[in-house]
Amino acid sequence: MEAAFVLEMPAVEVRDRLVGFVEEVAERLPLRRQRENALLYVRGLIEHGGRKSLQPTLFRLEETPARYESMQQFLADSPWDPGLLVRACAERVASEIGVSAWIVDDTGIVKDGKHSPGVKRQYSGTLGKIGNCQVTVSVHAVGERGTLPLGWSLYLPEEWCDDLLRRRKAKIPDGVVFQTKPELAAGLCEEAAGWEIPAAPILADSAYGDDTRFRTEVHAQGLEYVLAVSAQISVYGPETTFAVPQR
């Protein structure tokens, strides 16, 4: 009902609501120009069709060429923490969707070439095969009235982590080290658990359920989980003990 109501609202009213929401969330950005660029970028993504790359987006919004440099710097080099906006959005929206679970998954993003951070020939569940792509790990809250991103992280393969020159060209921070997908997911869950949002059982497929460290970490965080495991995984009751037999 809410979605149908929004679609029937006049365009001006929808835009005003969008502006108010983005301004509320972007309050956590430290600089006025950053807040202005955040609003402009969201408008470009939502209000107009066509290509979503920066230059055609600004052209459709009838912005001056000077704004392109400011937006490019905001998106690529400006030292603001995107996690601030993710948290602000999550805390604003979570109560509206009736959260019933957190979903952990990874997504492949098809890429040509070899210069985008993390790109390589690797398996992608999105493609259903091995292909040239990036892979991101994400956590989403889901509920009766929608879904909400709680965090995502780019998976950086070991060959990327070990190649200093390639990292520098792609502007990957020196502090980024190799982490498996379950390790990335556990970190995202831990971060979201500290926010003012409803906790819910974590759901994931066997790529995460088979990983003992992932299960151990989310349990240590006090989070419940329902995870798939593959057929070769052994399960033991809590009363089970293990001992090395004497010679």
Q: What is the pLDDT of residue 87?
A: 93
Query: Given CA atoms 12, 18, 19, 21 in this order, what sign does their dihedral have?
Result: positive
Residue written as token pair 């979503």: 52
Digit-coded pLDDT (tens) for 184-217: 999 999 999 999 999 999 999 999 999 999 999 9
Map out the domains of the chain with their CATH numbers: 2-76 (no CATH), 98-227 (3.30.420)
| pLDDT higher than threshold 70 for residue 10 | no
The conformation of residue 194, written as its DSSP 8-state character, comes to: T
Whether the per-residue pLDDT at 34 is higher than 60: the answer is yes
CB 34 within 8 A of CB 73: no
Whether residue 82 has pLDDT greater than 70: yes
- Sign of the Cα torsion 152, 202, 182, 84 reads positive
Residue 4 — very low, low, confident or very high, per pLDDT cuts 50/70/90? Answer: very low
Kindly compute the dihedral angle of the four CA atoms of residues 135, 137, 143, 147, in this order, to the nearest 10 degrees.
-50
pLDDT (0 to 100) of residue 7: 46
For residues 49 and 190, give the distance between their C-alpha atoms in angstroms, rounded to a whole number.
36
At 165, the amino acid letter reads: L
Predicted TM-score of the model (pTM): 0.80
Residue found by looking up tokens 């052209």 in the block: 59
